Amino acid sequence: MSHTINHLRKLRLQRSELAVPGSNPEMIEKAANSEADYIFLDIEDAVAPPDKERARANIVQALNQIDWRGRGKTISVRINGLDTHYMYRDVVDLMEQAGDRIDTLLVPKVGVPADLYMVEAMVNQIEIARGFKTRVGLEALIETALGMANVEAIAAFGGRLEAMHFGVADYAASLKARTVNIGGLNPDYPGDQWHFGLSRMTVACRAYGLRAIDGPFGDFSDPDGYKDAARRAAALGIEGKWAIHLSQIALANDIFSPPEKEVDRARRIIDALKVAESQGKGAASLDGKMIDAASERMARNVLATHDAITAGR
């Protein structure tokens, strides 16, 4: 291992992340009662420009009136982009009126590290001015060609940054990619055309101690398509996926939870290697397969996820 190791900056259970437009109070209430691990209330793409101010006020009200943490939810807000005149008011109103009730702010269309610096500077000042004892984290939405080209530098930003998300819809638009539906596969492409972007973002996340999250799958009438996309993401090391419909929450929770058989094997790997170590061996055999220190690291990843799920129940 390199002498430089960036440990996970913040552990949060994020198998399913429900996207909820702030312009719809009824949906906000349903989200609070859902089985989603994580919820982001949206003021950005899901809200039309004439409804931005009302949506922002709805979100402030919901943050203050609903005990999200008491219901086992991590609560986030997706603010508007830095290229809009809505963003500064989003940060000011949210932080001044409900800053101690927010877990993270999701920053859309992050293109360069300085985008996060601007939001962080505002959050820092408001937390100090208000005397908040809590600390709001930041999450970066990678959904443009510029963001992907700079994804390693963005991941290395540090500060409050906890996670990065892959925003497939705007990413496809930024690349001028031909796609049939949000997050779906183009039958003309031999495989998954999103694989490169997801993989590159995930590598950057793991290198700098961030959580890696996959974005939306637009066709909520196609559960099999959603599950296939989630499985491909999980295979790359992604730890959760957005849900744009209540029906997608259980699918994400299931796929990003290690099966009991996998958990049992992880425990047996660790036990077998302890025995091998006591015998002066660096490797061992389990179920006819060689295991070593790398196997133990993979096993501990499985158990960490399992423990987080168990703690959240």
78 is in an annotated binding site: yes
Q: How many whole angstroms separate alpha carbon 27 and alpha carbon 242?
A: 16
Amino acid at 28: I
Angle between helices 223-236 and 247-255 (to 10 degrees): 30
Give the H or E element holding residue 72.
none
Half-sphere exposure of 69 (CA within 13 A, CB side): 9
Does 192 belong to an annotated binding site?
no
d(CA 34, CA 286): 40
DSSP assignment of 142-204, as one string? E-SHHHHHTHHHHHTT-TTEEEEEE-HHHHHHHHT---SSTTPPPTTSSS-TTHHHHHHHHHH
CB 296 within 8 A of CB 269: yes
Neighbouring CB atoms inside 10 A of 60's CB total 20
Tokens coding 112:
């360069």
Q: Is 9 annotated as a binding residue?
A: no
Evaluate whether 8 touches 212 at the Cβ level (below 8 Å).
no
- How many helices (H) and strands (E) would you count in the chain? 12, 10
Quick one: tokens of 254? 């299931």
> Contact at 8 Å (CB) between 101 and 75?
yes
Q: What are phi and psi of 42, to 5 degrees?
A: -105, 130
**3-state DSSP call for residue 137?**
strand
Binding residues: 78, 143, 170
Residue positions forming the annotated binding site for substrate: 78, 143
Annotated binding site for Mg(2+): 143, 170
